[in-house]
Amino acid sequence: MRALWRSQGRRECIARRWAAITRWYSESTAAVAAEEESAAPPLAKVPVPQEAVLDVLYAAPRVESGTRACMKMRNKGIIPGIVCSQEDGHQGGHKQLLVLNSNKLNLLLKKFGQSFFMSRLYTLELRTEPDPKEGELISRERVLPRLIHVHAVSDKVLNATFIRAPPHARLRVDIPLVFIGADVCPGIRKGGYLNTIRRTVQYYGAPDLIPKYIEVDLSNLEAGQSVRIKDLNVTPGLVVYAMDPRWPVCKIVGTRATRVATAS
């Protein structure tokens, strides 16, 4: 009988401890979630791109392809890449294999950040050697980055894909959004915060119409109000691609105190 009591007491003690641990974990998780939800990223840290000065990328044609060949290229300090036309480049119609000058590519990626790098046009100089101080110029054409493959741990560029951007082309591009006016936003000043839903929007249009970024003005937004894709101020001629113009890109989320202040 005493053994039975001891075993029951032990089970009850374990159950109470487990309930206490579960309750503590639930409260801690809820507190962290509430803190993360209420913490809005400071808009002052949103990178605003500068005008491109070093907008030339240097490359050389290559013949070898495959995993081993590309690994050897990276060990030599050059990056394997492809330049093609948007329509049928991946089917081999206008695809050209090349190697890129890693120093210049990494410099521009570090300067603009990957999102802003992907929305800019560049002049691709194809030379006999990827080093601009060596070799001779073969051709020069305007390109737009389409894909940058980066190593998950080291952040080193593994390969890059570009599409040709002649004036008559119609290109798809993800344009980054820059949020301005947070310091005077009524909803934020009353205690709300910015909920960023999208950081890029995909458009379709001529290369000369593609902006480096789109500004989203928050200066007149109250708590509960949002900005939708159709509200963005873009160059006429650009068309939203594969997205509903009614989709929101951001919303001013108000706390209970913010809603009370707005109602009063």
Spatial separation of the C-alpha atoms in residues 108 and 125, rounded to whole Å: 15
Spatial separation of the C-alpha atoms in residues 193 and 187, rounded to whole Å: 7
Residue 201 has pLDDT above 90, yes or no: yes
222 with 189, same domain: the answer is: yes
Domain boundary among 168, 201, 233: 168
Enclosing domain of residue 99: 56-168
Helix, strand, or coil here: 174? strand
What's the pLDDT score for residue 14? 58
pLDDT band at 196 (very low <50, low <70, confident <90, very high): very high
State which amino acid sits at residue 13: C
pLDDT tens per residue, range 127-151 = 999 988 888 999 999 999 999 998 8
182 with 241, same domain: the answer is: yes
- Mean pLDDT, range 221-234, rounded to an integer: 93
161 with 217, same domain: the answer is: no
118 CB neighbour count, 10 Å cutoff:
19
pTM of the predicted protein model = 0.72
SS (H, E, C) 84-135: ECCCCHHHCCCCEEEEEEHHHHHHHHHHHCHHHHHCCCEEEEEECCCCCCCC
Domain boundary among 168, 202, 226: 168
163 with 64, same domain: the answer is: yes
Domain boundary among 140, 168, 196: 168
pLDDT tens per residue, range 4-18 = 445 555 566 555 655
For the chain, the domain total comes to 2
